[in-house]
A and B are shown apart, each in its own frame.
Chain A
Amino acid sequence: MEGKEEDVRVGANKFPERQPIGTSAQSDKDYKEPPPAPLFEPGELASWSFWRAGIAEFIATFLFLYITVLTVMGVKRSPNMCASVGIQGIAWAFGGMIFALVYCTAGISGGHINPAVTFGLFLARKLSLTRAVYYIVMQCLGAICGAGVVKGFQPKQYQALGGGANTIAHGYTKGSGLGAEIIGTFVLVYTVFSATDAKRNARDSHVPILAPLPIGFAVFLVHLATIPITGTGINPARSLGAAIIFNKDNAWDDHWVFWVGPFIGAALAALYHVIVIRAIPFKSRS
């Protein structure tokens, strides 16, 4: 669709298409879109890197839940908010931990640490179905173990203080909670798509450490905004891990919100990025 006029005159082709501020124009496509991942790829099951990637997701999600739920417990058991790291500290725990863990596992598994991110990338044809399912299972298992360790540290207090489980707060409807989860996950998954975009990587001389930073910030910001509503899920594994270990009615009553919302948000983000921003289906097949 974007046919560029051929013009070999020196300098005349310097600015064929006006670029956004500050960026130098490119006369040729300087990136390669990776081909869509096959739905099933039996060959990858025989590769150690496949199994290693799942293990990395397990360990990352385990550490994520351990740090974050332990931070939540610390705030809850404190005599008052002023004596603890507070709600902002909780948000930093979630966002900062995602930043650190995505940085560590980006080259191994893609650093998802979140079934919604895995689902969004699967919809965008960036990984196979077998890999997506495997990642989601490992993320959920890691989350359960992470929350389990926190409970192991303080069993009675864990149960008395809500176990870090996600529930919809008083004063909010289930629809509000669902909406908050959808938009929150959209922000996160859209940031993931932007950070990992092939076009951006080629143009920006991509510095790997910097991709996790906006992703971590996205998690931090969504937590700032939606902790009062749902305690912020936007990560079905995180919600599942806490719900299983806490195992009370009020955690399970609302639990569907924390799967349906994130998956819808991830799908919307995938749709927006692939269809609107990158217009991939409308590119000519070369």
Chain B
Amino acid sequence: MAKDVEAVPGEGFQTRDYQDPPPAPFIDGAELKKWSFYRAVIAEFVATLLFLYITVLTVIGYKIQSDTDAGGVDCGGVGILGIAWAFGGMIFILVYCTAGISGGHINPAVTFGLFLARKVSLPRALLYIIAQCLGAICGVGFVKAFQSSYYTRYGGGANSLADGYSTGTGLAAEIIGTFVLVYTVFSATDPKRSARDSHVPVLAPLPIGFAVFMVHLATIPITGTGINPARSFGAAVIYNKSKPWDDHWIFWVGPFIGAAIAAFYHQFVLRASGSKSLGSFRSAANV
């Protein structure tokens, strides 16, 4: 109904040079019948599988090559910087590859944030999150299959709180880190920006990848950096020791809170969609 009002040429709407897509329906029965829906879920699964495989393999490889007690050398391996590049770079290329297929979430927190902002329906959000978690488990499973003893010896790439940091600190780091990521996702995919900046969509994955990279630079010393519940879940399931499981709730609660805050900030503060919807009610009344 609001769309019909907007379609009629009115004074207030003529100057707008972009079109906001309508809110996604809560449950969209039609999309369940389309191949593109299931293809998107498959794409999320494969993308998260590759993401975990490359990143956890990089983590384990670094620990092997820098372990001076077992044949490694000082400054061996790709370094902590290399690990951060693995995470950020992998998000860049995977978002690039799957943006047109599934939206390129690769992260339950991103899916949750976009769901809160009414950009994906509930069934789609749920299936994405399930596919992401399964993909993460399979990705880490590959890493373990290729180097079982190394994998177990060097911590399995699992997220857990480092010594010297409290639970609250870890939680706060995850909240703010995920806020940075999801806020960047919202900015990169904003239709208003696309219209105003002659936005080249291929560039959207680059700031998203860099956001992940930057957050990893900052919080690897604290939690190994989750900001992606599927990533933390996959490593915890395959590694399956008590230490990662003890802290595991941080890597779901933190990212989901961070995503919710980012969704609220972008939708209600930056885009002020709440007041716009009130405005459209007034227009409807006039008509």
Contacts and interface: CB of A to CB of B under 8 A. Distances in A.
Q: Is B one of A's binding partners?
A: yes
Interface of A: 1-2, 10-11, 14-15, 17-25, 80-82, 86-88, 91, 171-172, 176, 179-180, 183, 186-187, 190-191, 194-195, 199-200, 203-207, 210-211, 213-214, 217-218, 220-222, 224-229, 272, 276-277, 279
Contacts of A200: 100
B53 A80 contact: no
Nearest to B121: A18
Nearest to A206: B202
Contacts of B191: 22, 24
A272 B49 CA distance: 14
Contact of B22 (A15, A176, A183): A15
Contacts of A176: 145-147
Nearest to A195: B96
B201 A171 contact: no
Interface residues of B, number: 73
B237 interface: no
A89 to B, nearest CB: 9
Contacts of A210: 200, 202-203
Contacts of B46: 272
Given A203-B100, A204-B202, A210-B202, A224 B36 contact: no
B147 A172 contact: yes
A276 B42 contact: yes
B142 A183 contact: yes
Contact of A225 (B53, B76, B102): B53
Contacts, number: 176
A91 B200 CA distance: 28
A88 B85 contact: yes
Interface string B136-150: 000000100111011
20 contacts: A11-B7, A14-B19, A21-B103, A21-B120, A21-B189, A24-B19, A176-B145, A191-B93, A199-B100, A200-B100, A205-B201, A206-B202, A214-B96, A214-B205, A221-B89, A224-B61, A227-B61, A229-B61, A276-B39, A279-B39
B54 interface: yes
Contacts of B55: 225
Interface in B1-55: 3-4, 6-7, 19, 21-22, 24, 28, 31, 34-36, 39-40, 42-43, 46, 50, 53-55
A132 B119 CA distance: 43
A171 B190 CA distance: 48
3 closest cross-chain pairs (CB), A and B: A22-B189, A81-B75, A20-B103
B67 to A, nearest CB: 11
Main secondary structure of the interface of B (DSSP, over half): helix
B61 A10 contact: no
Contacts of B188: 22
B57 interface: yes
B85 A20 contact: no
B101 A81 contact: no
A51 to B, nearest CB: 32
Contacts of B104: 20
Interface of B: 3-4, 6-7, 19, 21-22, 24, 28, 31, 34-36, 39-40, 42-43, 46, 50, 53-55, 57-58, 60-61, 64-65, 73-79, 81-82, 85-86, 89-90, 92-93, 96-104, 114, 119-120, 142, 145-147, 149-150, 188-191, 194, 200-206
Contacts of B40: 20
A190 B97 CA distance: 8
A279 B35 contact: yes
A239 to B, nearest CB: 19
A194 B34 CA distance: 22
Given A217-B93, A228-B65, A171 B150 contact: yes
B222 to A, nearest CB: 22
B75 A82 contact: yes
Contact of A87 (B78, B93, B194): B78
Given A20-B102, A224-B86, A88 B79 contact: yes
A228 B66 CA distance: 11
A230 B13 CA distance: 60
Given A171-B147, A217-B92, A221-B86, A187 B7 contact: no
A25 B42 CA distance: 22
Contacts of A81: 73-76
B54 A225 contact: yes
B73 A80 contact: yes
A45 to B, nearest CB: 34
B113 to A, nearest CB: 10
Given A80-B73, A210-B202, A229-B61, A224 B93 contact: no
Contacts of B202: 204, 206-207, 210-211
A91 B62 CA distance: 13
Nearest to B35: A279
Nearest to A20: B103
B203 A224 contact: no
A86 B75 contact: yes
A90 B49 CA distance: 25
Counting chain A CB atoms within 10 Å of each CB, which of B92, B93, B102 scores highest? B93
